[in-house]
Amino acid sequence: MVKEILLLGDKRLYQKSESAQMGKDLDPIIADLHDTLMDFRIRYQAGRAIAAPQIGVGERIIYMHLDSPTVFINPELEFPDGEEMEVLDDCMSFPDLYVRVKRHKRCIIKYFDTGWKKREMILEGDLAELLQHEYDHLDGILATMRAIDNKAFYMSGEII
């Protein structure tokens, strides 16, 4: 079911999520994340991933859909080096705003899949940025909180 995406300023976005529990039926949450992401894509022609807190679910789940879906349950991020990159970050929780932030250029994400099998991905560039952004949602951190300075905000159509 398509859920309402919480918008910037909603206090629930700033809360740290709890670990998802093995044995709990996560399928309804995952279906809601899928439906909500696909609906956002239709409306905005954008959106590659969504975190459970963005639909008001305080569990550590990220749903990513590129060519096929990937579900990250209780993910953990590691950074193999300190190299960073500067990016314009956008978010479904503030769809017309872009924020200039620094992210790690590379990361390793360790997580459980929907069968509770341990997985690991090594990411670089835009996918590393994407998963860092979504992971931040699990900790109650928004891109606006990572702005490189107080002039790092742009409305869509005003990016230079």
Strands (DSSP E) contained in 35-68 are 49-51, 61-65
**81 contact partners, CB below 8 Å, separation of at least 6:** 104, 105, 106
Query: Is 91 one of the annotated binding-site residues?
Result: yes
Number of residues written out for the chain = 160
CB 148 within 8 A of CB 101: yes
Contacts of 149 (CB under 8 A, 6+ apart): none
- Eight-state DSSP code of residue 125: T
Question: CA-to-CA distance for 73 and 71, rounded, in angstroms?
Answer: 6
Catalytic site residue from 4, 86, 120, 134: 134
Instruction: Verify whether residue 129 is a known catalytic residue.
Output: no
Tell me the β-bridge partners of 122.
108
How far is residue 110 from each of residues 7, 69, 121, measured CA to CA in Å?
28, 16, 7
Q: Which residues are annotated as a binding site for Fe cation?
A: 91, 133, 137
Active site residues: 134
